[in-house]
Amino acid sequence: MSTLFPNYARRPVHLVEGKGTIVTDNNGKEYLDFTSGIAVLSLGHAHPAIVEAIQRQSEKLWHTSNLFESPEQEKLASSLIKETHFAHAFFCNSGAEANEAAIKLARKHTGKHVIITFENSFHGRTFGAMSATGQEKVRNGFGPLLETFRTVPFNDIEKLGAAIDESVGAIMLEIIQGEGGVNQITPAFTRAIADICKSKGILLIVDEVQTGIGRTGTRYAFEQTVLQPDIITLAKGLGGGFPIGAMLGTSELHDTFGPGTHGTTFGGNPLAVAVAQAVLDNIFTNEFLFAINEKSSYFMDKLKEALPAYKIVGSGLILGIICPDEVAPYITQAEQAGLLLVAAGPNVIRLLPPLTVTTQEINQAINIIASILRVPSMLQVPGTRNII
Ligand SMILES: *Cc1c(COP(=O)(O)O)cnc(C)c1O
């Protein structure tokens, strides 16, 4: 019996090494990693800039706590808010923690306790973030949950309007619901939200834990919409594999989080900040972001060509293949053929390659996916052939 709690449905693959998009298991078999550790390895495995940042900082200073000033955190915050309407950052260690900070900040700032969230959203596993999450399977068995959240169908303008009253302080959403099925927000819904927030003085929190840091082809996904969030939350891709989360907010929110109101011991420690700075220095350049968009268009076009019967959704390098049936068997077949994939909900294959993926790797992945989806799964002979 395992010494671990069985709270993850782990696949029987033991990965021991990674470089770029390729990972190797303990038998020496290679895979293309199109999960990126769930949108985390933005620069791929063992990127030289990250390896260098960790080595350099680990010999200097790992941790200080937030008792002392930190020009390094200031610099990282500047890189995150540069050319945005945000003024301040708070650093933590994960997406759920970034969302907790956002929920606390919004409640304290508005003095109102209701936050609207959406069906099929995912915001994390802590009590606040879990209560915000619009998926029964995440919440089941843990009640009573925080009463703060009012869950409304995603992209439903009428239902959203009906849910708004004087007690609502904030609306919290994802631009693309990553865990919930690669569901994109509609332009009409973003306009409705922008109007409601403006006319009622409601705060907007955008959870960019999965979509942020270049994943959708811009630094943040909200930049492709009319939305001007008061708060965004980040984690996953920000550390490129090292745990770090962040919350960005506007100058209006500055005084709400005075000394002693919120904090975390590890948040923004020198090691994490050095790594995240290396990640941003590489990703937040016009050339890098442009290349993501080029690769995304190529990937989309080739997928549509190879799989004309399937609907392809998403943006940048978070793409989804919507399948008429459960995708779990396809994911197992892809793994056997040397391609690691992750589902989004029961019927969507999610494609999350490192942002450094090459067109050659995209071609290899499409060949494997097409060979699996084109043939009814009954006819597939499970094999362990290494296609790479
Ligand atoms: C993964 C995810 C979270 C939770 O992040 P953790 O680091 O696992 O706490 C929150 N929101 C979104 C949109 C996510 O994809």
- Rounded to an integer, the average pLDDT of 374-387 is 48
**Atom of ligand 1 lying closest to residue 178 CA:** 15
Interacting residues of 325 by C-beta distance below 8 A, sequence separation 6+: 347
pLDDT reading at 48 higher than 90: yes
- 72 within ligand 1 shell (Cβ under 6 A): no
Find residue 33's DSSP bridge partners.
340
- 189 within ligand 1 shell (Cβ under 6 A): no
- 100 within ligand 1 shell (Cβ under 6 A): no
Q: What per-residue confidence (pLDDT) applies to 375? A: 62
Question: What is the residue with the minimal CA distance to atom 15 of ligand 1?
Answer: 210
- C-alpha span between 350 and 328 (Å, rounded): 11
Token digits of residue 171: 């609306």
Q: What per-residue confidence (pLDDT) applies to 33? A: 98
- Rounded to an integer, the average pLDDT of 83-109 is 98
Q: How many residues does the chain have?
A: 388
- Res. 374 pLDDT band, cuts 50 70 90: confident
Q: What per-residue confidence (pLDDT) applies to 377? A: 46
Domain ranges of the chain: 15-33+286-372, 49-283
- Rounded to an integer, the average pLDDT of 142-159 is 97
Architecture of domain 15-33+286-372: Alpha-Beta Complex (3.90)
Q: What per-residue confidence (pLDDT) applies to 376? A: 52
- C-alpha span between 167 and 90 (Å, rounded): 26
* Ligand 1 center–CA 203 separation, angstroms: 20
- Rounded to an integer, the average pLDDT of 278-285 is 98
pLDDT reading at 41 higher than 90: yes
Question: Measured on CA atoms in the order 247, 261, 115, 229, is the torsion positive or negative?
Answer: negative
- 122 within ligand 1 shell (Cβ under 6 A): yes
- Rounded to an integer, the average pLDDT of 292-312 is 97
> Model confidence over 339-369: pLDDT tens digits?
999 999 999 999 999 999 999 999 999 999 9
- C-alpha span between 354 and 47 (Å, rounded): 11
> Model confidence over 230-271: pLDDT tens digits?
999 999 999 999 999 999 999 999 999 999 999 999 999 999
**Atom of ligand 1 lying closest to residue 129 CA:** 10
Q: What per-residue confidence (pLDDT) applies to 387? A: 40
Check if CATH label 3.40.120.10 holds for domain 49-283: no
Within the chain, where are the H helices? 36-39, 48-58, 71-81, 95-110, 127-132, 136-139, 157-163, 187-200, 270-283, 286-306, 328-336, 359-373
Q: What per-residue confidence (pLDDT) applies to 380? A: 42
pLDDT reading at 382 higher than 90: no
Q: What per-residue confidence (pLDDT) applies to 59? A: 98
- 212 within ligand 1 shell (Cβ under 6 A): no
* Ligand 1 center–CA 95 separation, angstroms: 4
Interacting residues of 298 by C-beta distance below 8 A, sequence separation 6+: 359, 362
- Rounded to an integer, the average pLDDT of 127-136 is 97
- C-alpha span between 283 and 49 (Å, rounded): 11
Instruction: Tally Cβ neighbours within 10 Å of residue 243.
Output: 17
* Ligand 1 center–CA 231 separation, angstroms: 16
The model's pTM is 0.96
